[in-house]
A and B are shown apart, each in its own frame.
Chain A
Amino acid sequence: MAVEHNMQSSTIVDVLEKVLDKGVVIAGDITVGIADIELITIKIRLIVASVDKAKEIGLDWWESDPYLSSKAIDHNTKAIEQENKELRERLQALENKLETK
């Protein structure tokens, strides 16, 4: 549809092309030239695409690996807490059963 401004692949390319290739060139003391915008864009798009793809097929393990992501630590702690709670409840239930015998 017309009039959209989201992160579709074309927008990624748009941003890269504009930022790396367009924009006013005035002499800086340091300017980093980028030789082949098309090649760079393809390389970057592949990274972006592979991250999206990986998420799609569930290959986003790095997001839950505490060594790779700070977000994951939080997530893991919660999961362990939940498991602890469930185990405690099961233990309680078993003890109750034993007592009633």
Chain B
Amino acid sequence: MGELLYLYACVPSKEMTTLPDLTGFDGEGKLHTIQAGAITAVICSLNAEDYNEDVLKDKVENDMQWLQEKAFHHHETVLALSKLYTVIPLKFSTIYKSEDSLKQTLTENGSKMNDIFDLLTGNEEWNLKIYCDDQMLKEQISKSNPVIEQKRQEISQLSKGKQFFELKKLDKLVETELEEEKNRVSERVHEALKKLVLKGNVKRTWSSEVTGADKKMTWNSVYLISKEDVERFLEEVQSYDQEMKETGWQLEASGPWPAYHFSSFQT
């Protein structure tokens, strides 16, 4: 059948040096490059029989062990490249049937990719997650919030039966206040950090089902930061973390990541 080309990332041709020795998607072949003008594609060859569309679809849907392994392979490869070059990371499993077809796609998207390279050069992607101890914050809110305090006073005057239902209602109010407070605090941190960065995007938070962590994620955001400002950014995150620790908050920065969140463009 022949060969397929698995595309990991695009790199500006002017930055290209000899590619380090990296193993391909099948665990055997080596990575190599194909140049189309100003854009160089970092790829590996795959046997078309073992990696055709049906096989891949089946693996992705049914073999989680495989998917995890390969997703990490993709990520680690792109990460290694991003330490050396300005990199546009491709989505998992972008595959071409021939060199011509890959080159054509690169040429078609060339000017957009060059714009992205300009945006990314000299900058890093960092991720911020904010967690919060709901129980601790809830206690603070029910203590310090005058509305809730007054409600509680009123309820204590009621009959036992009425108290039960009114307390339920009060719980709901505390929950709502809690969510609002969490957003307010996180947003304040985010806005302050945005002053140090080039771009900042808010992402969806993950449920604890996804993270498997006990603590609740209240904020998840990504930043594109100029390399010389990264240290200041991290210091800032750390000082927020220290400052807010006692009230049940936790801030976690991770990176630098390949610029997965700042490379997208419309095709």
Residues of A within 8 A of B4 (CB): 29-30
Which residues between 80 and 96 of chain A lie within 8 Å of chain B, taking CB atoms? none
Q: Of A3, A25, A27, A32, which one neighbours B56 at CB under 8 angstroms? A: A32
A9 touches B71 (CB 8 A): no
B209 within 8 A of A: yes
B75 within 8 A of A: yes
Residues of B within 8 A of A18 (CB): 75, 89, 257-258, 260-261
Q: Mark A5-30, 1 if CB is under 8 A from B, else 0.
A: 10001111111101111111111111
Residues of B within 8 A of A44 (CB): 64, 67-68, 71
CA distance A75 to B105 in the complex (A): 50
A28 touches B95 (CB 8 A): yes
B252 touches A32 (CB 8 A): no
CA distance A98 to B110 in the complex (A): 88
A31 within 8 A of B: yes
B211 touches A10 (CB 8 A): yes
Q: A31-B93, A31-B95, A48-B68 are in contact. Are A2 and B241 (CB under 8 A)?
A: yes
B75 touches A15 (CB 8 A): yes
CA distance A34 to B78 in the complex (A): 20
Residues of A within 8 A of B89 (CB): 18, 22-24
10 sample A-B contacts, Cβ–Cβ < 8 Å, listed by A number: A2-B234, A2-B237, A14-B254, A14-B257, A20-B71, A22-B264, A23-B90, A24-B90, A24-B116, A31-B95
Q: How many A-B residue pairs have CB under 8 A?
A: 141
B92 within 8 A of A: yes
B88 within 8 A of A: yes
A24 touches B264 (CB 8 A): yes
Chain B residue nearest to A35 (CB atoms) is B61
Give residues in B with beta carbon < 8 Å to A. Answer: 4, 7, 10, 52-53, 56-57, 60, 64-65, 67-68, 71-72, 74-75, 78, 88-98, 101, 105, 109, 116, 127, 129, 206-207, 209-213, 234, 237-238, 241, 251-255, 257-258, 260-261, 263-265, 267
Give residues in A with beta carbon < 8 Å to B. Answer: 1-5, 9-16, 18-32, 34, 38, 40-45, 47-49
CA distance A38 to B203 in the complex (A): 14
B53 touches A22 (CB 8 A): no
CA distance A4 to B237 in the complex (A): 12
A42 touches B210 (CB 8 A): yes
Chain A residue nearest to B4 (CB atoms) is A30
Chain B residue nearest to A25 (CB atoms) is B91
Q: Of B60, B90, B234, which one neighbours A3 at CB under 8 angstroms? A: B234
B213 touches A9 (CB 8 A): yes
A26 touches B209 (CB 8 A): no
B211 touches A9 (CB 8 A): yes
A5 touches B265 (CB 8 A): no
CA distance A5 to B261 in the complex (A): 18
From B67, B129, B253, name the one whose CB has the most chain A CB atoms within 10 angstroms.
B67
Residues of B within 8 A of A20 (CB): 71, 91-92
